[in-house]
Chain A
Amino acid sequence: MRIARAAAYATLLIAAGCQSNHSMLRSSASRQAANIEWLYWFIFWISLVVFVLVISFFARGSARSQVDDEEMAPVLPQDEERDRGAKAGVAVAIGITVVTLFVVLALSVVTGKTTAGLTSQNPITIQVIGHQWWWEFRYPNPQADLTVSTANEVHLPVGKPIVVLTTSRDVIHSFWLPNVDGKRDLLPGYQSAFTFQVDKPGIYHGQCAEFCGEQHAHMGFEMVAEPMDEFQQWLQQQRKSATDPQDITTVRGREVFLTHACVLCHTVRGTDAGSKVGPDLTHLASRRMLAAATLSNAPGSLAGWITDPQRLKPGARMPANPLQPDDLQALVTYLRSLQ
């Protein structure tokens, strides 16, 4: 009975790990991740074989031992024949180990090269900027007003090399998309670059992988990999400024936005709000998630987040905003209209 319960708990624990596609070992979405995944499983199976061999030899040796606990170990008679056999066995084992080591080494080097040497011909360039505790993604364009800035949701075309320029505004963060590539540190005051390519469309979860303060564990983002034409369509939409509100509630909502604390940190292109401290909200309603991929983008969570972010994410940089109920309603309506 107790064993059954323990087994049930263990199964639940394992099943909990399957919840999201947030793993390097399953559903790799890029060539780098596939390479790393392959190398991982290759080393895993070799290690498993070695482990099983060692344990079975050990078990066999223990089973053959005939010495009682109280007795001294007997002095074995010298046996030239057996000694020679044992020596040969050890030599063969060393030989196999060395060969395996070199094979793994060579494969590591090859994987490293294919991972690093991805073509960056005619790429899409994006900028990733780490903030405490959210991600800024920019799509730079020589024409300044066509530069797109979004937060916590990055859209990328499949089958095209992506050059990522990284930096941070405050402390060291680490950009990690487990299904795509390894971790890359974002360093304040220093720009670095790397390349990857996504091959499978889908929505993948990313996460900060370097402890960066109170809300580090909730500093997530989503990567939406989609075909080129859908990506271009998205980018075109993101380039637009916010449209002027039409109905009276939305107009009031914009007024609330522009006359309260929101305007000190956030940008809505097309209005007077242009601060770069917090995420750009020009197309807030088009995003799937809020608050660094911790809340779904629904009116209720948006209202809760605006009213008291410190209850949801203690330490987050956004202060509480005690608004009048109808002001809050109008503000949420306005933000929901920013498609």
Chain B
Amino acid sequence: MLRHVHWWLVAAALLLLLSCEREERSFRQTPASANVVNTIQVSQLHPGGQQIATPAVPNIYEENAYAVSEGKRLYENFNCVGCHAHGGGGIGPPLMDDEWIYGGEPANIFSTIMEGRPNGMPAWRGRIPENQGWQIVAYVRSMSGQVRTDVASGRSDHMQGKKPEANTPREQPTGITGAPAHQ
């Protein structure tokens, strides 16, 4: 048994190597179609008794650290910071809290970015490519702790005024998709 100990070591090392598979960086993949935006409800006033549920669109980018960090970079590049700051808000509403005026599900946020919203949010459809839009959605949701902590970003390029997204406790979203917003 002891004579073969080095073979066991080699086997163990090979086993360790197997665990080296990292998450993939996909550069050409576009996630969930954006067709859902037609059924997104943006107001709590609606005729009839039924509220239309937000369609559940899984955003594969929320499982991918590279995509979330790309979203973070684009959030800055496309000047989302200009109004929403680094999540704390300013001219626009804060994004790191639990309150979602137009809903906090991935499909809601995607729709808000692409279609724009009253009082200042521009419509980015045609300007921001769809896959980058979904990357920004993943990052925006990471600001209130909605994505896995090992996927969310652990540091920032700018001066940090709050905990990094990876250390942000998960907020319970309220608003159009959850309990009524308190405003």
Chain A interface residues toward B at CB < 8 A = 170, 259-261, 263-265, 277, 308, 310-311, 314-315, 319-321
Contacts and interface: CB of A to CB of B under 8 A. Distances in A.
Interface residues of B, number: 12
A264 B78 CA distance: 7
Residue of B28, B128, B131 most packed against chain A (CB within 10 A): B28
Contact of A311 (B28, B78, B127, B128): B28
B127 A260 contact: yes
Contacts of B157: 170
Contact of A314 (B27, B126, B127, B128): B27
Nearest to A258: B127
A319 B131 contact: yes
A319 B132 CA distance: 8
Interface string B70-96: 000000011000000000000000000
A186 to B, nearest CB: 16
B27 A263 contact: no
Nearest to B27: A310
Interface of B: 25, 27-28, 77-78, 126-129, 131-132, 157
14 contacts: A170-B157, A259-B126, A260-B126, A260-B127, A261-B127, A261-B128, A263-B127, A264-B127, A265-B77, A308-B28, A311-B28, A314-B27, A315-B25, A319-B131
A321 B130 CA distance: 10
A255 to B, nearest CB: 12
Q: Which 7 A-B pairs have the closest CB atoms?
A: A310-B27, A319-B129, A277-B77, A310-B28, A314-B27, A261-B129, A264-B127
A83 B5 CA distance: 54
Contacts of B28: 308, 310-311, 320
Contacts of A308: 28
Contacts of B131: 319
Nearest to A169: B157
Residue of B25, B77, B132 most packed against chain A (CB within 10 A): B77
Contacts of A259: 126-127
A320 B28 CA distance: 8
A215 to B, nearest CB: 11
A319 B129 CA distance: 7
Contacts of B127: 259-261, 263-264
Given A315-B25, A319-B129, A319-B131, 9 more contacts: A260-B127, A261-B126, A261-B128, A264-B128, A277-B77, A310-B27, A310-B28, A319-B132, A321-B129
Nearest to A189: B157
Nearest to B76: A277
A277 B77 CA distance: 6
A274 to B, nearest CB: 12
Contacts of A314: 27
A308 B27 CA distance: 10
B85 to A, nearest CB: 19
Contact of B129 (A170, A277, A311, A320): A320
Nearest to A318: B129
A265 B77 CA distance: 8
Residue of B27, B128, B131 most packed against chain A (CB within 10 A): B27
A120 to B, nearest CB: 33
Contacts of B126: 259-261
A301 to B, nearest CB: 19
Contacts of B128: 261, 264
B73 to A, nearest CB: 8
A321 B30 CA distance: 12
Nearest to B132: A319
Contacts of A265: 77
Nearest to B66: A315
B30 to A, nearest CB: 9
Contacts of B129: 261, 319-321
Nearest to B131: A319
Nearest to B70: A317
B65 to A, nearest CB: 15
A319 B136 CA distance: 14
Contacts of A315: 25, 27
A264 B131 CA distance: 15
Residue of A261, A265, A308, A319 most packed against chain B (CB within 10 A): A319
Contacts of A260: 126-127
Contacts of B27: 310, 314-315
A320 B126 CA distance: 12
A264 B77 CA distance: 9
Contacts of B78: 264
A71 B21 CA distance: 58
Nearest to A309: B27
A61 B28 CA distance: 65
Contacts of A319: 129, 131-132
